[in-house]
Structure 1
Amino acid sequence: MDATSRAVGTATVGATVGAQARAVADPLAPYLAADFPWYGLDDGWTGRRWLMQAGAAPGRVEQPIDYGTLGHGEEPAKHYEARDVRKFAVVVTVACRDSRRSADNTGMLEATSASSAAWLAGSGLLAATWPGQLDRTLRQDWLDQQSALAWDLADDLDGPGWSPLTLPVNGLPQPFRYRESEYGWVLAGEAPGVLLGAYGRGISAYGAGFATVPDLTVYNGR
């Protein structure tokens, strides 16, 4: 996984301008534009579901959607809350892409992999759980340190930082790589037609199951 994959992950914290514009006009539009199936928690989850974002890799704003996220539970606080105990799980779907030229034809984008899903999930967890009580300088130091750690971990899914975990995908057992931290949990693996990641806090990953989403409007109620 090289710097281009890391750039894809960084984009999860702020959608591309094109994706943002589409989302304002119609939150479902970028999801419906994707050429791959979306995954969320399966029917075992009976709580709230909500749209997050879908976008293209940097340099691919007008190209097909490459990844996206769907939320479950309580939306993470946008600002620091001293007693924040919000419980959520976010499913990250990443398109299987071969290496290809960037839209501006200035370089190559690396093929996506389970590490891409792991990085998107890890950086998403950081964005959702950063310690907002820190002053700006310390917070940036924390983000830099934790982002570097998340990058290194995503690049070594077979390393000691991860544990094996088997969870159902469309009702069939599927192997994932899983890790926990004081901020929450992250997992990554593959699913039919896509690469799959997830992150959460306050909701156990061990009881999770994933399934394709036949009707995205169930996530559009907010």
Structure 2
Amino acid sequence: METTSRVGAQAPATEEADQAPSARRTVDGFLQAPFPWYGLDEAFTGPRWLMPVGTSADGSVEHGSIGHGEAPSVRGESAIQGGESTERFAVVVTIAANPVRRSADGTGVLEATSVSSAAWLAGVGLLSCTWPGQMDHVLRDDWLEQQTETAWVLADDLDSADWTRLTLPVDGVPTPFHYRESEFGWVLAGSTGAGVHLGAYGRGMSAYGLGFAAVKDVAEYAA
């Protein structure tokens, strides 16, 4: 899969002005997608937020993520008490189910997207907001590179013993997912009947009670 991205007090007026165009661009990216977006179903009543979309070489939107709960900090150990993270979030990744297709310049073939693609995106998403305790910046870069490769290997073999099966509702229909846990959180991946694959990752929120549903109006999540 070829993509250009792998996902009280009032703020000062200048900061709000900087955030507004960025938020608008993010929403526009979601609205340009020719496929439905998914998030947690209506049983989740907490905050929701959009993350940047991923695009192909020709600029077509291929995947994106919607966060739920508390936006995770990059430096995870800042939220750890007694050895456990206090962050509570779940991120749902939607990726278009594309068959093998020609590249934009017509010179090659792009890899088809699959459940493994969703699993890899979810695994990398979890790693991106994980910072193991007692690790400095330089070491984390090496760690992240190594773990990203490991996430790909795991995603490429969803039938291995590293994954278990978990059935969760998607638009009210029981749907099988591949699921795994680690010390950093959990990751799952599956497919829908709506032409998309779903991935999800989270920490502090149990995956066992989650349900997924197509988003009716993604622009509502931009606030």
TM-score range, shorter chain: 0.7 to 0.9
C-alpha deviation, 1:217, in angstroms: 2.7
Moved over 3 A (4+): 22-26, 78-81
Verify: 1:53 aligned to 2:49, yes or no: no
C-alpha contact (below 8 Å) 2:74/2:130 kept by paired residues: no
2:129 is aligned to 128
1:171-210 matches, within 5 Å, as 171-192=172-193, 193-210=195-212
2:13 is aligned to none
Select which of 66, 79, 95 maps to 1:70.
Answer: 66
Q: What SS class does the counterpart of residue 205 from structure 1 fall into?
A: coil
Aligned-pair Cα RMSD in Å = 1.9
Instruction: Please tell me whether Structure 1 or Structure 2 has the larger radius of gyration of its CA atoms.
Output: 2
Give ranges in structure 1 of 5+ residues lacking alignment.
14-21
Q: Distance in 1 between matches of 2:133 and 2:103?
A: 35
Q: Distance in 1 between matches of 2:92 and 2:171?
A: 14
1:147-162 matches, within 5 Å, as 147-162=148-163
1:6-155 matches, within 5 Å, as 8=3, 11-13=5-7, 23=22, 25-57=24-56, 59-60=57-58, 62=59, 64-79=60-75, 81-84=77-80, 85-131=86-132, 133-155=134-156
Count of paired positions: 204
C-alpha contact (below 8 Å) 1:167/1:208 kept by paired residues: yes
C-alpha contact (below 8 Å) 1:167/1:175 kept by paired residues: yes
C-alpha contact (below 8 Å) 2:75/2:130 kept by paired residues: no
C-alpha contact (below 8 Å) 2:23/2:222 kept by paired residues: no
Q: Distance in 1 between matches of 2:77 and 2:109?
A: 41
Give ranges in structure 2 of 5+ residues lacking alignment.
8-20, 81-85
C-alpha deviation, 1:26, in angstroms: 3.3
Residue 196 to residue 80, structure 1, CA distance change in 2 (3 Å): closer
Q: Distance in 1 between matches of 2:154 and 2:30?
A: 28
Q: Distance in 2 between matches of 1:99 and 1:23?
A: 32
TM-score w.r.t. length of structure 2 = 0.85
1:16 is aligned to none
C-alpha contact (below 8 Å) 1:49/1:218 kept by paired residues: no
C-alpha contact (below 8 Å) 2:170/2:192 kept by paired residues: yes
C-alpha contact (below 8 Å) 1:132/1:139 kept by paired residues: no
Q: Distance in 1 between matches of 2:22 and 2:29?
A: 7
AA matched with 1:212: A
Mean Cα deviation higher: 131-140 or 188-197 = 131-140
TM-score w.r.t. length of structure 1 = 0.85
